């Protein structure tokens, strides 16, 4: 029996690992253990996803949250090292680029436990982003590289990674979207918000460069207000963003009747809003992928992306935080002249199966 730890800690990562329990049933010689670091721990950011997506109850909950990025990562490393020394997993698998993934990857590597990285090879080439540093460092200590798009293959080869250990598998986030399409379609969130299909723009913002700077946050609010020219704006507001609005004295935006604010939403409700939006304006990573698969126009307010395929062939466009530029794109979206995009190769709902097959071969089972 081989023991595999899959480590998660944040909302985006829960979505990336939903199919492993089902897929690993084909490999009875692999014992799958889910480790939750606790980085996202409250109901809206964690529990609702476990409940909706029927994720197994974590086998190990480290209950580490709060503090600075360094403090959080250090606490996770200490707790996870203690766990792996006791449990002795044969392989640790981490998704994405969050601090939990980096901390678990580093602890596994220092204890000579083989490491696999889901979403390996993605690069924004912007080292001011903490996620970029995490991506690079996780790949530097990984033994198995699971790649979502061909830019990842190129980046890993350029960095000298072992091509025999590199697997182009597609996107596990899309596996979840495909598996739960019926549940997404059944969501009643449109009725609850009293909003019709294709009558609104959907906004999400949380990155420090956009919300921790008062001038930039004011520009974002100007953008949200401008979008109401075409209909409603729906803004499921991240706790970080809401706090910044309060800190900077910008609460007046809450009084605009054409802007619908909500707390962070569950997976089904949020994807129902994405699927039926006229446009999505975001600074998220994963939403670029979901909109590409759903072929929904997406404007990503960032200078770069680690997911270039979403712009090259998908429905995503990088835009600077400039109202005139974004207004022109919104005009093209609402006039029907914006690109539709196509779905990338291997984004077919079977990526988790490919990862499990590669893991089983690596472990010799």
Query: Three-state DSSP class for 239?
Result: helix
User: Does residue 45 or residue 39 have the better pLDDT?
Assistant: 39
pLDDT in tens, 303-324: 999 999 999 999 999 999 999 9
Q: How far is the C-alpha of 64 from the C-alpha of 38, rounded, in Å?
A: 5
What average pLDDT score do residues 155-184 get? Answer: 98
Fold adopted by 2-170+347-363: Rossmann fold (3.40.50)
What homologous superfamily does CATH list for 182-335?
A: Glycogen Phosphorylase B; (3.40.50.2000)
Q: How far apart are CA 64 and CA 75, in angstroms?
A: 7
DSSP 148: S
Average pLDDT over residues 278-293: 95
Q: Of 117, 167, 206, 334, which is the active-site residue?
A: 206
3-class DSSP assignment, residue 43:
helix
Task: Give the span between the Cα atoms of 297 and 316, in whole angstroms.
Answer: 6
Q: Hey, which bits of 112-199 come out as E strands?
A: 115-118, 144-147, 166-168
Q: pLDDT-derived band of residue 242, with 50, 70 and 90 as boundaries?
A: confident
Rounded CA separation 47/98 (Å): 18
Half-sphere exposure of 13 (CA within 13 A, CB side): 25
Identical fold for domains 2-170+347-363 and 182-335, yes or no, is yes
Q: Give the predicted TM-score (pTM) of the model.
A: 0.94
Active site residue 334: no
Phi-psi region of 343 (alpha: psi -120 to 50; beta: other; left: phi over 0): beta
pLDDT tier at 165, thresholds 50, 70, 90: very high
Q: What is the longest distance spanned by two Cα atoms in the chain? A: 60
Starting at the earlier edge strand, list the strands of the sheet with 232-236.
259-262, 232-236, 200-204, 279-282, 298-301, 316-319
What 3-state DSSP class applies to 280?
A: strand
Q: Which residue has the higher pLDDT, 284 or 181?
A: 181
Q: Domain residues of the chain, as ranges?
A: 2-170+347-363, 182-335
What pLDDT digit, counting tens, does each position of 257-277 carry? 999 999 888 899 999 999 999
Mean pLDDT, to the nearest integer, of 177-186? 97
CA distances from 134 to 102, 174, 324 (A): 6, 22, 34
């Amino acid at each position: 029996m081989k023991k595999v730890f899959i480590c998660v800690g944040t909302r985006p990562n829960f979505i990336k690992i939903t199919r492993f329990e089902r897929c690993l049933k084909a490999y009875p010689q692999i014992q799958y253990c889910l480790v939750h670091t606790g980085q996202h721990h409250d109901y809206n950011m964690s529990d609702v996803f476990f409940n909706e997506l029927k994720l197994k109850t974590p086998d190990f909950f480290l209950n580490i949250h709060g503090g600075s990025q360094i403090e959080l990562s250090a606490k996770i490393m200490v707790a996870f090292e203690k766990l792996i020394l006791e449990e002795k997993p044969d392989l640790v698998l981490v998704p994405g680029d969050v601090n939990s993934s980096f901390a678990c990857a580093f602890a596994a590597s220092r204890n000579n436990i083989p490491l696999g990285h889901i979403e390996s090879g993605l690069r924004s080439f912007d080292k001011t982003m903490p996620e970029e540093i995490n991506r690079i460092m996780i790949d530097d200590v990984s033994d198995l590289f699971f790649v979502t798009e061909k830019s990842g293959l190129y980046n890993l080869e350029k960095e000298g990674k072992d091509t025999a250990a590199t697997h182009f598998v597609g996107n596990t986030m899309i596996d979840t979207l495909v598996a739960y399409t019926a549940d997404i379609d059944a969501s009643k969130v449109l009725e609850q918000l009293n909003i019709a299909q294709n009558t609104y723009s959907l906004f999400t913002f949380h990155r420090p460069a956009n919300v921790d700077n008062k001038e930039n946050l004011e520009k974002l609010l100007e953008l949200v207000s401008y979008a109401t020219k075409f209909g409603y704006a729906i803004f499921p507001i991240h706790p970080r963003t809401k706090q910044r609005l309060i800190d900077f004295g910008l609460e007046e935006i809450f009084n605009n009747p054409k802007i619908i604010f909500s707390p962070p939403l569950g997976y089904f409700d949020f994807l129902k809003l994405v699927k039926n939006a006229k446009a999505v304006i975001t600074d998220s990573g994963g939403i670029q992928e979901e909109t590409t698969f759903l072929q929904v126009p997406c404007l990503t307010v960032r200078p770069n992306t680690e997911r270039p395929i979403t712009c090259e062939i998908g429905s995503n466009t990088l835009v600077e935080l400039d109202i005139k530029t974004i207004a022109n794109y919104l005009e093209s979206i609402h006039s029907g002249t914006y690109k539709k995009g196509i779905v990338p190769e291997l984004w077919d709902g079977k990526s988790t199966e490919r990862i499990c097959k590669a893991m089983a071969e690596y472990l010799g089972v």
